[in-house]
Structure formats: structure tokens, C-alpha cells
């Protein structure tokens, strides 16, 4: 049975038998990503099967809690867990050390110990914060990701990158700490604002360009009317992305090599987010422009062809995502920001560039004048 995405959660068919399960193989830190439709009510049983400790704290946002908090809380309680709840604000400004201290206070108030755990229910902001709290509280406790944005379902809930922002840079303070489980219910996307849905589409386009031409085909068939995509197609697309990320993380957990390819579009994307104070673009919008810049740089240095650039641009446009740099930002400023970020981290600017759909390469040898020329040509006239 194929159900459209935009449907009330209550109308979702119960399909626990149709779960897609993807292993993330990391030795003793291995875990599963479980993807299905209307499966929030099964999360308690899944935690019990993993033998997680009796005290669990749901860390979630003020937006997500009224939508999906109760089914998760009820499911955990029905499986015998003692549940507390911490509510956070929902914006990027919440991803701070200060919020982390609030979570620690709550964990202490509720007398959590090393055997207790955290359930992160929400988008990437909640997942990164709750994950970092789990990585650091009492030198590390277990946690489970229950992602509710498309971006979190295909990307941020997987792979163990957790952290908070510093006033000087995004995600500057963090740790690798793998979840014990990722429990993904696609029904939660039915309430996600259209713009956030599109933001997640950018990450799906990213996966197809770095690793999977068939995914690009699957996405192209659905991208224009993504909000009415069938649940089966949605699960198929999300599962494909998760498999790619699981494979790459399994090969290079702490990003010394191949995991860097997941940063396709992020070099320019991060600079745009930073220059606009994280207020103008969603993460996906910024990396959509970043992917276009990377493809055009690759074309400029003869590493790819026009057809690749055009195919990517058509998909990004069909997804309703931006492909050009606004006039308010100038190319020199953007290149300056790239160099500033990298200098601060003691690194060189590392580019992920496409050769063709499904294949990218890493390079640190892109002359600044090539980047400037490409950005100049991409700027809104």
C-alpha cells in the first residue's frame, strides 16, 4: 500500500512489519538504523531489546514535543522505562554550551547515572545537542536518535558527530559518540514545514552526486511533488541515503579520508551560512549553492563536463533550492571567509569536487582565482 506523505499522523497505517533496517558496522560501537512508517510506538520495545538502562531522558524541542512526544513517552513507559523530559528551543542559537549545562542540570536533578540514557527526539539541532550531552555526561552514556526532519533522517542522526556551536564558529566543540540506535519514523515528516523538507532534499542530492546515480533518478521522479511522495518511495529514498552514509562511516569513522566526501557542497555552504549569521539560509539551501559552486569549479579545472553540471542544476532547481549567490554577498568576501575558517582550524581549504554523477574526488589544489571567477559568474546580476 502506498500512502502519501502529507497525511495526518493518525491516518498512518501501522506497518511495523515493513521496517527497513540498515546496519552501521563499527565493531563494538555498531548499531542499526530502523526506518518505517508509524513506528514511534515501537521505540520502547526496541530500547528494551537493546538492554538500555531503566532511566531515559527524552531531549526534544518545544515544537516537536506536542507533535510526537507522547507516543514516544508512552512507548518507553509501557516498556518499563522511567522517563523524564527536557524541552529545548528550536533554533541554531540554542546549540550552545549554555544549553548543554541545562541538560546536565536536568540529568542530575533526575538522578541519572552511567547506566541511564538519552533519547534525542527532533531535528539536527536537538540530535547534536542531546548526542553531545550523552557523549560527555559522566564520560559518556548511551543515546538513541529519533530524527524528525528529513535532514536529520538522512544525515545528522547517523555517524556519531555531536556538538555545539562556539560564538566564533559552528560545531567547533564536539565529540564523536555513536548512538545505540537510530529510529526513523517517516510519518513525522508530514508536519515538517515545506522549506525544511526542501533543506533535507539538498542532502539527498548530495548523496546521489557523491555515490549513487540511481538515487538521483529516483529523486528526479519525485522531486517536484515531494510533499505528496508515496511512503514507500520515501522509505526507499531515505534508506538509500542511510546505506551510503553507513557504508562511508563504517570505512572512516573519524573522517580521516573518505568521510570527507560527505562534505560535498559544504565548503562554500558553510561560508555562506556564516556570512549571513545562520539566519538567512537553511543548512540545505546553503549547501545547494555550495554544490553548484563545487560543480562549476570542477568544470573550470576540466575535471567534469557540462552535462554533469546541468543535471545537478536541474535537480536542485526542481527541488526548489537556490543555485546562485545573492548580490548582497561578494565573491571576495566569501573566499575570505573560507580562508578564515580554515586558518582558525590550522587546515587548508579542502574541496570535494564531482567528476560525474556518482563520483567525487578530494583536492586542496584549487587556485583562489578559479573560486573567485566561479562565484562571480554565479552571482545574481
Ligand X SMILES: NC(=O)c1ccc[n+]([C@@H]2O[C@H](COP(=O)([O-])OP(=O)(O)OC[C@H]3O[C@@H](n4cnc5c(N)ncnc54)[C@H](O)[C@@H]3O)[C@@H](O)[C@H]2O)c1
From 95, 231, 283, 296, the catalytic residue: 283
What whole-number distance in Å separates Cα of residue 206 and Cα of residue 201? 9
From 245, 273, 296, 300, the catalytic residue: 245
What whole-number distance in Å separates Cα of residue 256 and Cα of residue 350? 12
According to CB under 6 A, which one of 55, 283, 303, 354 is a site residue for ligand X?
Answer: 283
According to CB under 6 A, which one of 44, 69, 71, 122 is a site residue for ligand X?
Answer: 122
Smallest distance from the beta carbon of 79 to ligand X, in angstroms?
23
Q: Catalytic: 259?
A: yes
Using CB under 6 A as the binding criterion, the count of chain residues that bind ligand X stands at 28
According to CB under 6 A, which one of 123, 179, 269, 354 is a site residue for ligand X?
Answer: 123
Q: Catalytic: 70?
A: no
Q: Catalytic: 280?
A: no
Q: Which of 192, 215, 195 is nearest to 205 (CA)?
A: 215
What whole-number distance in Å separates Cα of residue 156 and Cα of residue 127? 7
Q: Is 261 in the site for ligand X (CB under 6 A)?
A: no
Smallest distance from the beta carbon of 154 to ligand X, in angstroms?
9
Residue in the structure block whose three cell numbers are 551510503: 244
Q: Based on CB atoms, which residue is closest to ligand X, 110 or 239? A: 239
DSSP tag of 260: G
Q: Is 148 in the site for ligand X (CB under 6 A)?
A: yes
Q: Catalytic: 115?
A: no
CB 129 within 8 A of CB 95: yes
Q: Catalytic: 340?
A: no
Smallest distance from the beta carbon of 167 to ligand X, in angstroms?
15
According to CB under 6 A, which one of 47, 119, 152, 294 is a site residue for ligand X?
Answer: 152
Q: Is 188 in the site for ligand X (CB under 6 A)?
A: yes
What whole-number distance in Å separates Cα of residue 265 and Cα of residue 268? 6
Q: Catalytic: 256?
A: no
Neighbours of 191 (CB within 10 A): 15
Q: Which of positions 345-364 make contact with ligand X (CB under 6 A)?
A: none
Q: Could you tell me whether strands 20-24 and 31-36 are parallel, antiparallel, or unpaired per DSSP bridges?
A: antiparallel
Q: Is 184 in the site for ligand X (CB under 6 A)?
A: no
CB 191 within 8 A of CB 10: no
Q: Catalytic: 270?
A: yes
What whole-number distance in Å separates Cα of residue 173 and Cα of residue 162? 9
For residue 80, what are the CA distances in angstroms to 16, 44, 111, 129, 211?
Answer: 20, 8, 17, 26, 42
Q: Which of positions 46-105 make contact with ligand X (CB under 6 A)?
A: 61, 63-64, 67, 90, 92, 95
According to CB under 6 A, which one of 7, 96, 102, 191 is a site residue for ligand X?
Answer: 191
Q: Which of 321, 356, 65, 11 is nearest to 195 (CA)?
A: 321
According to CB under 6 A, which one of 196, 212, 253, 285 is a site residue for ligand X?
Answer: 196
H/E stretch holding 196: helix 194-211
Which stretch, 26-34, 100-108, 117-125, 248-256, contacts ligand X (CB under 6 A)?
117-125
Residue in the structure block whose three cell numbers are 524541542: 61
Q: Which residue is nearest to ligand X (CB)?
A: 124
Long-range contacts of 239-243 (CB under 8 A, 24+ apart): 239/20, 239/22, 239/35, 240/207, 240/212, 240/214, 240/215, 241/154, 241/155, 241/203, 241/204, 241/207, 241/215, 242/22, 242/33, 242/35, 242/153, 242/154, 242/158, 242/182, 242/184, 243/22
Q: Based on CB atoms, which residue is closest to ligand X, 103 or 126? A: 126
Q: Is 253 in the site for ligand X (CB under 6 A)?
A: no
Smallest distance from the beta carbon of 40 to ligand X, in angstroms?
11
The residues carrying an active-site annotation are 139, 161, 203, 245, 255, 259, 263, 266, 270, 283
State the residues that interact with ligand X by CB under 6 A: 61, 63-64, 67, 90, 92, 95, 122-126, 128, 148-149, 151-152, 155-156, 159, 161, 171, 188, 191-192, 196, 199, 283
Amino acid at each position: 500500500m502506498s500512502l502519501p506523505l502529507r497525511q495526518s499522523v493518525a491516518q498512518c497505517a501501522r506497518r511495523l512489519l515493513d521496517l527497513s533496517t540498515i546496519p552501521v558496522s563499527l565493531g563494538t560501537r555498531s548499531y542499526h538504523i530502523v526506518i518505517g512508517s508509524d513506528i514511534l510506538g515501537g521505540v520502547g520495545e526496541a530500547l528494551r531489546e537493546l538492554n538500555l538502562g531503566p532511566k531515559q531522558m527524552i531531549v526534544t524541542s518545544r515544537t516537536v514535543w506536542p507533535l510526537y512526544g507522547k507516543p514516544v513517552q508512552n512507548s518507553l513507559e509501557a516498556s518499563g522505562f522511567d522517563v523524564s523530559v527536557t524541552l529545548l528551543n528550536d533554533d541554531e542559537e540554542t546549540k550552545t554550551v549554555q544549553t548543554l549545562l541545562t541538560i546536565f542540570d536536568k540529568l542530575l536533578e533526575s538522578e541519572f547515572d552511567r547506566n541511564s540514557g538519552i533519547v534525542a527526539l527532533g531535528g539536527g539541532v536537538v540530535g547534536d545537542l542531546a548526542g553531545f550531552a550523552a557523549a560527555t555526561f559522566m564520560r559518556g552514556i548511551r543515546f538513541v536518535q529519533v530524527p524528525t526532519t528529513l535532514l536529520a533522517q538522512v544525515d545528522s542522526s547517523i555517524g556519531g558527530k555531536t556538538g555545539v556551536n562556539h560564538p566564533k564558529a559552528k560545531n567547533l566543540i564536539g565529540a564523536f559518540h555513536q548512538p545505540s540506535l537510530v529510529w526513523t519514523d517517516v510519518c513525522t515528516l508530514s508536519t515538517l514545514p515545506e522549506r525544511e523538507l526542501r533543506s533535507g532534499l539538498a542532502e539527498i542530492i548530495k548523496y546521489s552526486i557523491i555515490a549513487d546515480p540511481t538515487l538521483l533518478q529516483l529523486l528526479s521522479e519525485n522531486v517536484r511533488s515531494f510533499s505528496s511522495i508515496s511512503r514507500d518511495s520515501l522509505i526507499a529514498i531515505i534508506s538509500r541515503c542511510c546505506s551510503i552514509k553507513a557504508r562511508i562511516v563504517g570505512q572512516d569513522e573519524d573522517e580521516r579520508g573518505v568521510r570527507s566526501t560527505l562534505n560535498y557542497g559544504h565548503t562554500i555552504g558553510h561560508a555562506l551560512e556564516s556570512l549571513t549569521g545562520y539566519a538567512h539560509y537553511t543548512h540545505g539551501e546553503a549547501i545547494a549553492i555550495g554544490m553548484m559552486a563545487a560543480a562549476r569549479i570542477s568544470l573550470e579545472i576540466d575535471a567534469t563536463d557540462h552535462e554533469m553540471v546541468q543535471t545537478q542544476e536541474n535537480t536542485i532547481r526542481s527541488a526548489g533550492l537556490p543555485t546562485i549567490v545573492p548580490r548582497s554577498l561578494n565573491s571576495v568576501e566569501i573566499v575570505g571567509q573560507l580562508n578564515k575558517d580554515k586558518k582558525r582550524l590550522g587546515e587548508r581549504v579542502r574541496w570535494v569536487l564531482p567528476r560525474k554523477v556518482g563520483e567525487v574526488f578530494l583536492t586542496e589544489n584549487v587556485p583562489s582565482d578559479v573560486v573567485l571567477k566561479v562565484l562571480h559568474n554565479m552571482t545574481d546580476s
